[in-house]
Copies of this chain bind each other. A is one copy, B any other.
Amino acid sequence: MSWFRPLAASAGRCAGSLGGQCLAPSRALRASAARPHSQVAEDIVKLLQAKQETHEVKKNFVLKTPKGTRDYGPKQMAIRENVLSTIISCFKRHGAEAIDTPVFELKDTLTGKYGEDSKLIYDLKDQGGELLSLRYDLTVPFARYLAMNKITNIKRYHIAKVYRRDNPAMTRGRYREFYQCDFDIAGQFDPMIPDAECLKIVHEVLSGLKLRNFLIKVNDRRILNGVFAVCGVPDSLFHSTCSTVDKLNKVTWEEVKSEMVGEKGLSPEAVERIGEYIRLHDGLGLIEQLLQDPKLSQNKLAREGLEDMKLLFEYLTLFGIADKISFDLSLARGLDYYTGAIYEAVLLQPQNTPGEEPVSVGSVAGGGRYDGLVGMFDNKGRKVPCVGVSIGVERLFSIMEQEVEYSERIRTTETQVLVATPQKNFLDVRLKLISDLWDSGIKAEMLYKKNPKLLSQLQYCEDTGIPLVAIIGEQELKDGVVKLRVVATREEVDVPREKLVEEIKRRLET
């Protein structure tokens, strides 16, 4: 992605900062969401039949993308490419291989992996043959891939779209079709080393995108289960209690409490005790404190989780990132398949008053350990321990789009030179010249007109940010030269035809 021509009017309060108020939708997004498609679309149906032999007239035809989805235009794509390339370089820096899986899976493959969220899965219509569903995440397809190919050891990334029939909140970057960028490590290894690397990756990605005001919350399913156990929650309700706690980032503690008592049937006392634990968050100190906790330290699972958490913090300190990590007992992550460490990165609103608690304005990455998932697909139940992280790129795209909106104009092509002419009847000469440039690897365009005006050719460069113009007219043709014009300075110089490629490359190096 490259930038050009900063706009004078762009120095808004959000330029260069990522304050909470900037997480509102960008102007571009809002404008596009407000466009009245339905109004213009009422009559379209009448025109749909032209020359189509079998087209059936529909009364309610509307010109739009499906609910919760959007197109990416050239500007959004340039931003997306920039974000994804930062993420991919990070994944590659950590030695990850890439894989890809189909957008749909056998319905059975997804069944029983997502708890209450299963209702959000998109199914395909039964058109004869297999029953299929669109993938809900990249983790279950990954586990299926490992089991199917009997792979017990891999470090891979996977960047692809996933699908959830959720209530879209597109202004906040929540869509029904959205990208996931997953990095996972599968294999039997010494404790917490791969887990620590996943957190290092989140840190590198967010720092690489210049998002410095973030916090990574960590917890462990074993600790959470230990908490539930010592608070008197029956084993059979661990999963669903976990799902309820997970709602804390969306609803208040009062609502969570009433769901636990009302719907899940927990005793009010148990819920109060849970509430005391999950209010705790801190670093190494809290881990030590809980290891001394008379009830929790007696619970085997919780103790294991706490010991591992301590190890994790050691490694994170060696990585120099412990200051961005918070051990937070309220972090639950509702998906069924997590078995150990879990984590989530949130962007923080800058504190208005020093000393005030920073406020989270949205999750941008999350993940954890899932040691049982692959075994669910293996015919002998062989387990492949896995840990991974998923970067929430849609939110990152939204943030970057808005940064661009407020700061600079973005180029959507990489064209280096426009082949132009001041003369009529020079199409042949332009075609020959541009062909030579393409064949030499130069990124070149020309106007698709037989006799374009020189002014429109130069204007096109201004509009699209093309830095150079190769002008060829009668005089240049006679002299065996091309006039190379620098758009920014209007400087012009005659370059011998055979030196043109070299000269263009030289000028674009600097």
From B54, B95, B111, give the contact of A443 (CB < 8 A). B95
Size band of the A side of the interface? Answer: 35 or more
B106 and A200 within 8 A (CB)? no
B112 and A48 within 8 A (CB)? yes
Contacts of A94 in B (CB 8 A): 438, 443-445
Segment of A144-152, A298-306, A499-507 engaged in the interface with chain B: A144-152
Segment of A72-80, A275-283, A486-494 engaged in the interface with chain B: A72-80
B44 and A435 within 8 A (CB)? no
Contacts of A377 in B (CB 8 A): 44, 63
As a 0/1 sequence over residues 239 to 256 of chain A, the CB contacts with chain B under 8 angstroms (1 = contact) are 110000000000000000
Segment of A212-220, A258-266, A407-415 engaged in the interface with chain B: A407-415
B56 and A319 within 8 A (CB)? no
A372 and B51 within 8 A (CB)? yes
State in angstroms the CA–CA spacing of A278 and B95 once bound together.
Answer: 55
Task: Tell yes or no: A286 within 8 A of B by CB.
Answer: no
Segment of A14-22, A186-194, A350-358, A361-369 engaged in the interface with chain B: A186-194
Segment of A121-129, A287-295, A340-348, A469-477 engaged in the interface with chain B: A121-129
Chain A residues 418-453 with CB under 8 Å of chain B are 427-428, 431-432, 435, 438-439, 441-445, 448-450
A108 and B376 within 8 A (CB)? no
Task: Tell yes or no: A92 within 8 A of B by CB.
Answer: yes
From B44, B99, B112, give the contact of A379 (CB < 8 A). B44
B101 and A65 within 8 A (CB)? yes
A225 CB, min distance to chain B CBs, angstroms: 12
Chain A residues 180-222 with CB under 8 Å of chain B are 185, 187, 189-190, 193-194, 196-197, 200, 204
From B37, B111, B187, B372, give the contact of A148 (CB < 8 A). B37
A74 and B102 within 8 A (CB)? no
A50 and B101 within 8 A (CB)? no
User: Do A52 and B112 form a contact, CB below 8 Å, given A71-B145, A448-B194?
Assistant: yes
Contacts of A24 in B (CB 8 A): none
Task: Tell yes or no: A41 within 8 A of B by CB.
Answer: yes
Contacts of A443 in B (CB 8 A): 92-95
A66 and B413 within 8 A (CB)? no
Task: Tell yes or no: A69 within 8 A of B by CB.
Answer: yes
B127 and A413 within 8 A (CB)? no
User: Do A200 and B378 form a contact, CB below 8 Å, given A63-B148, A431-B318?
Assistant: no
From B130, B240, B449, give the contact of A189 (CB < 8 A). B449
From B40, B156, B432, give the contact of A74 (CB < 8 A). B156
Task: Tell yes or no: A97 within 8 A of B by CB.
Answer: yes
28 contacts between A and B (CB under 8 A): A41-B379, A42-B379, A44-B378, A44-B379, A47-B376, A48-B112, A48-B376, A51-B336, A54-B112, A54-B115, A55-B112, A58-B108, A63-B379, A71-B145, A72-B98, A74-B99, A77-B97, A78-B98, A80-B100, A92-B414, A95-B413, A95-B443, A98-B412, A103-B134, A190-B427, A196-B431, A204-B438, A319-B435
